[in-house]
A and B are shown apart, each in its own frame.
Chain A
């Protein structure tokens, strides 16, 4: 069974930093690209970042470029999101999301974690 479990969310002051983690199991981690998708309270879904299965290619949304960094540890089957210079508008539930294949061109999101709440205030 595919399991994606996020952690690391919490309350942080504007300008602060936070690192989110997503522990995974139940599949071959390195065979899949992963994304972070966020959802601000009461609003829709916003894609944030994507990383290829090998970890050698990443893309970030313009809204977080230069502040957030996505990374992965394939031997540990874990995904990360380093968030720096946080702003109030980064407040959201952050979902760890598994793609259907391994490259950053694979943007069909087949499995989602339960999410972790980040509050910037």
Chain B
């Protein structure tokens, strides 16, 4: 099974800050990495697919990069609405989610 890790597990940043979340896979997953945003009491929403593709409707301040085993999600200018938990997902071999990164607004 492919294991996914994320860092940090929580972060606190101010409106307007640039925020980066890292996701690592236990083996090479090529570009088969997605990011989801989940707000409390709501279902997750797809933000980024295939490492860097911006899902329709997702704000352009979100971007993704990486390949192989290391990937990042960047929020270029943090907004109050971005307070949420972010999960990475590998879909190279079956599928596995990372443990999540909770983003707080200072």
Binding site for B on A (CB under 8 A): 44-47, 59, 95, 100, 107-110, 112-115
Cβ–Cβ contact B99 & A47, under 8 A: no
Tell me if A45 and B94 are in contact (CB < 8 A): no
B43, A107: Cβ atoms under 8 Å? no
Inter-chain contact total with CB atoms closer than 8 Å: 43
Number of contact residues on B: which range applies?
Answer: 20 to 34
**Other-chain contact of B44, A45, A59, A100, A108 (Cβ < 8 Å):** A45
CB distance from A97 to the nearest CB of B (A): 9
Interface residues of B (CB under 8 A from A): 34, 36, 38, 42-46, 49-50, 55, 87, 89, 91, 94-100
Q: Which residue of A lies closest to B46 (CB)?
A: A110
Q: Give 10 nearest A-B pairs by CB, closest first.
A: A107-B91, A112-B43, A45-B97, A107-B95, A47-B95, A44-B100, A44-B99, A108-B49, A110-B46, A108-B91
On whether the beta carbons of B43 and A113 are closer than 8 Å, the reply is: yes
Given contacts A45-B36, A47-B95, A114-B42, 13 further A-B contacts (CB under 8 A): A44-B98, A45-B89, A47-B96, A95-B44, A107-B91, A107-B95, A109-B36, A109-B44, A109-B46, A109-B89, A112-B43, A112-B45, A113-B43
CB closest chain-B residue, reference A107: B91
